[in-house]
Structure 1
């Protein structure tokens, strides 16, 4: 399939720069049984039934962006920590990358030193921290890495975390979950909706752009995921009773689909996934997706197209643009059913 099939034009003014005033007050575009509905997010409760399972990703974003200087030249360096591959050794993205070569030393905020120890084929660097308290210092001096299309400073840092975030490890938020509040989750549970948690730490796999004209040639980076026995039991039991499985975000979709067999039966455990879902993929488990509006040509957009069809998604996105929905991380949401 051609990358151009997943393109669309979005007016810049529709890229949300700040979160909604209240999480649950964002807009919600619903596609169910070939009908379109326009609601506020808190009305999602009317479209999710007793016995259905809502699967949420409890990952938490850590302050992965560091600003430093090369020693001894003083050249400015920006790092995005992606993954700790061994104790004290991190895979990272660097700006400007051409300045950082193996053997270079960096200091951050005059308190944390690192050394470049390697370079990978995909452009990432490997750095090592020598200070035994490096993790504490990263949390002291690091910044939460907002996407580059957000230019407005974020006043409340917790607005880029879900209210149920717990497991530290992501470099970007699973943004579909940003719309939920404690009250909404409680009301869903009172209705009989089952809440189940998975963990997928958002890394390069989720947001790295597709650069191949033939999308099948794109290789996803691996991301850590975990699914517990408790979650397995909730989902498998619900399915036997006819309940639908509704994934909050593309990360939850990929975790569930990675962990299920051809019959849709889940298995527990932790692993790394590089599952790339694009049109032609046969979903084994997921019946519904809550997700934000995604960037054109992104793997996230392709996943949604795989779920309900390219032409349908393109039409729904054009409807959202016409009605001035807000797009991307701090934007509005969709609820799509197969």
Structure 2
């Protein structure tokens, strides 16, 4: 780990998260200080580069420092987030923009906070008819709203680049996880499957209206309905959307809610030794991974949504992988509709 450009190592414990659905990736490290010497350059707000070997896995700042002394113990613990923490912590400027594009938001909200490396991975044409930034709205709130208007998501790459884009479902699976009863070829320490209908509904109905503008009449009585045929019992949800710009925007919101519920409804949690896959590459969210598990009756491709590196001095390094149903996160990034769903406008 580099703190303000100075190398620090030999941590007694470390944990480094990366999650495409979390606003900011977190990290934490701890170190014993038997000599009682506190590093002078370690301060809250200091820039941090977290490395695994020679590869950068996170760029951010120190949020918290805990320096504790007890009988026979002298400990230093640091924790923080990647650069998304700045966008979460800082309020967006107070302005009202009509027809704001994604690029407008990046130029007027994101860049002034010191985020200079930005990449838009998909062609974004969508406009938000009107953005009202109220006191207390964070820069991250405004950014994610603009991204979602274009059917995209926002996250930070390990090198500190803000990416606005989505998954590449055309990419072939890059790794394979195996759990067989006879143990041959097994490469996972544990694998847990969780299925849930807690957030899923058999039918979702959105009722929308939109505020009128100087040259545009208000929109009323908009309605969009979508069905999840995998929920084979009656479990309806009706929700009011008070500020929908159009029928198309209402439909996009309904589709996203259905996809988010489906995403939350299935998780594969795997633990593997080390931090690299069979190709020697660091595990990275966004990978498509083949999973074969005889005990679970699984043999298919899944999407790596999150990973957490853990280890430290005298400990074996492990990686916790969170896998989701493939082609479910931001389904608009692929051709066709999500299987198991149908729409009625």
TM-score range, shorter chain: under 0.3
What TM-score comes out, normalization by structure 1 length? 0.23
Whichever structure has more helix as a proportion of its residues is: 1
User: Which gives a bigger RCO, structure 1 or 2 (Cα 8 Å, sep 6+)?
Assistant: 1
Whichever structure has more strand as a proportion of its residues is: 2
What TM-score comes out, normalization by structure 2 length? 0.22
